Amino acid sequence: MGALAHSRVVAVLGPTNTGKTHLAIERMLGHATGMIGFPLRLLARENYDRIVRLRGRGAVALVTGEEKIVPPNPRYFVCTVESMPLDRPVEFLAIDEIQLAADPERGHVFTARLLHARGISETMLLGSDTMRALVRRLVPEAEFVERPRFSTLSYVGERKVTRLPPRSAVVAFSVSDVFEIAELVRRQRGGTAVVLGALSPRARNAQVGMYQAGEVDYLVATDAIGMGLNMDVDHVAFARLAKFDGKAPRRLSAAEIGQIAGRAGRHMSDGTFGTTADLGPMEPEVVEAVENHRFDPVTGVFWRNSRLDLRSLDRLVASLDQRPPSALLVRAREADDERALAALRRIPDLAQRARTPDGVRRLWEVCQVPDFRKTMSDAHTRLLAQIFRHLSSGPGRLPEDWVAGHLARMDRGDGDIDTLVARIAHVRTWTYIAHRGDWIRDPAHWQDRARAIEDKLSDALHDRLTQRFVDRRAALLVKRLAGDEDLLAAVTREGTVVVEGHPVGRVDGFRFRPDALGEEEARPLLAAARRVLPADVAARVRRCAADADDRFRLERDGTIAWEGAGIGRLAPGPSFLSPTVAVDDSEFLTPPLREALRRRLAARVEAEVAATLAPLLRLARLPLEGPGRGLAFQLAEAQGCLARAGAEPQIAALSPADRAVLTRAGVRFGAEWIYLAPLLRPAAVELRALLWGAAAGLPPPSAPHPGRLGVPRAEGVPAEFYRAKRDPQLGPRALPVDRLEALAAAARRLARRGPFAATPELASLADARLADLTGMLAALGWRAVVEGETTTFVAAPRRRPAPPAPPRPALGDRFAALDALRGRG
């Protein structure tokens, strides 16, 4: 379609949000036929749907590189700029975003449309006011229409990403930056939509739709949002002001910043723009330019010869290399199709197949198959070579089984975000191929097949993006918490906290455990829980205070559990038998609730001590004379296990009556130790260990397996711990006192016959290896005699001196504590 002398050319120039596209569609629908070219497939599809609603599906065609919907007699064509069927005359023709003629990669296509594409009656050029001077010189007949912005755009400075207002878009220029910011927004605000240029239109629409529907209040995107995506954005925040342009990083121009910032504000609603705190403030001169929509004019546009000579490969290359006819036109950098041509013509058999004009034309068409992965890798070159070989041999069509095999390899919805993006890009190339009706049999079938795969992959990609960057629960809570309305919240019988139908965590004892991995993710959940938990925790404390003793459990680490959750712990008290109780921290426990809980737990511990250690408590009440009472005092002070060597004077002075009283109370007089036999029961052993740990302010060491009688002495564990349990230390091991006495008795029996050796019987009594017996018998006072490899023990034991009193926790008046505890019990 060449220039028409009688066609009216109108340049509608101005900033974003001026209604230029709306005006062009209205003008087109006022003509009998029309065509409009958009810069993006997404925009073409969006406006196609809009026009279909106005004029019906049979009146409108959609033509893009990857999609063609052409009814029998369409009146209006909605296209991408590259795909406009310019051989079809129409009354009205429009080109949107004409300033893209200055884009280094695609600019030559827009320049060609600017110079040569015309409607029979009217041509409309839409774009930035920066193109005014250049359009005036290249298209002297053009009329100019200014369109002021409907709303104002104001700079508001820098803000932290986490402090951005709702309905904000954050703009970065690399996928890694976008993902990093999106992760931060998800943690702080519950979620964000993500828009990348690499997304398929379906995935991008799904992300934008989620934002438009209010499911999330934030959008993180590349500059893909700067080109006409219609969204309700109130604020645009730039996280970066530089981008990679295909060759090197460069700073954005003020006009590019204005194009992106202009997404803020819709129709009559004002918008704001700014930067993130990490980037710092924007330069004042850039701010002034963006706010007033005054940018440096475009002084040159990219051009490539569109009248190509297809008579031979050499002539084609020469025509592509032709110099621009005007100083206003800049020779475009080598495009993807030119790089593909250069690679394919070096392959001998392909150059041989392209010796005729038809072969050259076909090869050039193959070179224009896009690589949506933007890699121009050897894999894409090999694909183009295979396509050309098939098209230039036999029936001149692509084999159906070959096409089916390629599509089948992409028909998989598994993989991460990067994998799905790459797969979608590859299938989009095949969607383009399927729309070449002269390349493939039954193109409609393969178009449907490729589109179905792309839709499947796009849906999977949308799901992956949503799973990674949207916490719908937190997003809803953040939104509701920002308002004054009451939240619908409750706590289930199992302790699950449910807010607005979403489980946000559970009550563990009297503490809230949010369903989040980190502090930032937990913040909105905790804020929501604060609306419901104070009343629930108060009710729980009342229930706890009224519960029976068997609803509480004293764990091996000193924790006091209720309903399976730890709510308190033992702490040092005035005596071994009287520990205090510390209630676990919880922000929902007020001081009165905490004190009520402490009293209930203290009562439970006192009852446990009174029931389990009753034989120890009864020592203070036994009817004994002076020596007996003194021995009972010493035994109580030693927590029921007393070395005999330190109590011989009291034992010798015992009357037969006192000895009988003590024996009936469970006191056993061994050769080495005096002990309370009832305290050897497992429950008493465990409780004594816990009480020792609480009195000493130390965690009790792990208890041995119930089936083991003795245990190796653990490094760093005081000997008094083992004695407080039941197991005095005997050389390298700690042995239950009754087993220790049995070992000593067995050794004495053997000694009556003279020197004796360690035997399996002794090892069994000691629950030890034969090798350990030397140290254990030595600790009992037997002297080892080593002759060669034989060790025997001398018959006469040597009584050990009384051991020094080990350091114990401050216990105060022991019997006073026992009496007090007895009175409480």
DSSP secondary structure string for all residues of 142-160: -EEEE---SS-EEEEEEE-
How far does the chain reach from its first CA to its final CA, in angstroms? 106
SS3 content of the chain, % helix, strand, coil (to 5): 45, 20, 35
CA distances in angstroms from 235 to 174, 339, 723, listed in the order given = 20, 40, 72
Closest Cα partner for 320 from 352, 379, 363?
363
pLDDT of residue 754: 78
Alpha-carbon distance 791 to 800, whole Å?
21
Closest Cα partner for 554 from 602, 618, 507?
602
Alpha-carbon distance 55 to 59, whole Å?
6
Alpha-carbon distance 526 to 513, whole Å?
9
DSSP class per residue in 710-759: -EEPPTT--HHHHHHHT--EETTEE--HHHHHHHHHHHHHHHTTSSEE--
pLDDT of residue 7: 79
Identify the bridge partners of residue 126 per DSSP, sorted by sequence position. 12
CB 572 within 8 A of CB 647: no
For 622, the 3-state DSSP assignment is: coil
Amino acid at 697: G
Alpha-carbon distance 653 to 642, whole Å?
17
Alpha-carbon distance 669 to 771, whole Å?
29
Q: State the CB neighbour count (10 A cutoff) for residue 242.
A: 12
Identify the bridge partners of residue 628 per DSSP, sorted by sequence position. none
Q: What residues contact residue 289 under an 8 Å CB cut-off, 6+ apart? A: 254, 255, 258, 295
**Phi and psi at residue 578, in whole multiples of 5°?**
-130, 70
Closest Cα partner for 129 from 147, 106, 143?
147
Closest Cα partner for 814 from 471, 574, 549?
574
* 580, HSE (Cβ side, Cα atoms, 13 Å): 10
pLDDT of residue 747: 83
Closest Cα partner for 791 from 776, 808, 811, 806?
776
Tally: H helices and E strands in the chain: 30, 35
- Extract the runs of DSSP E, i.e. beta strands, from 60-161: 60-63, 68-69, 76-80, 92-95, 122-127, 143-146, 153-159
Structure token pair of residue 348: 């001998």
Identify the bridge partners of residue 236 per DSSP, sorted by sequence position. 169, 273
Count of positions (residues) in the chain: 825
pLDDT of residue 213: 87
Alpha-carbon distance 666 to 678, whole Å?
6
- 44 burial via Cβ count (<10 Å: 0-12, 13-18, 19+): buried
Q: What residues contact residue 58 under an 8 Å CB cut-off, 6+ apart? A: 71, 72, 73, 74
pLDDT of residue 695: 80
pLDDT of residue 488: 64
Structure token pair of residue 741: 């006495």
Alpha-carbon distance 820 to 825, whole Å?
9
Alpha-carbon distance 214 to 478, whole Å?
12
pLDDT per 10-residue tile (average), the chain, 825 residues: 67 86 95 95 89 95 90 96 94 96 92 96 94 95 86 90 91 90 85 87 88 90 76 91 80 90 79 90 93 90 94 94 93 90 94 94 94 76 94 92 94 91 91 90 92 93 89 64 60 75 77 67 66 80 90 88 88 86 87 91 91 89 89 86 84 90 90 86 84 75 49 57 56 74 83 79 73 74 73 60 44 44 43
Strand order in the sheet with 790-793: 756-757, 790-793, 784-787
Place of tokens 């979620």: 191
Closest Cα partner for 792 from 802, 803, 778?
778
DSSP class per residue in 170-223: EE-SSHHHHHHHHHHHHHHHSB-EEE-TTS-HHHHHHHHHHHHTTS-SEEEE-G
Alpha-carbon distance 66 to 431, whole Å?
5
Closest Cα partner for 504 from 471, 467, 465, 479?
471
Structure token pair of residue 426: 């590859």
CA distances in angstroms from 340 to 375, 618, 735, listed in the order given = 12, 99, 85
Alpha-carbon distance 3 to 108, whole Å?
17
Structure token pair of residue 472: 């719908």
Place of tokens 């095999």: 405
Tell me which H or E stretch contains 432: helix 417-434
- 749 burial via Cβ count (<10 Å: 0-12, 13-18, 19+): exposed
Alpha-carbon distance 523 to 529, whole Å?
10
Identify the bridge partners of residue 582 per DSSP, sorted by sequence position. 569
Alpha-carbon distance 789 to 769, whole Å?
17
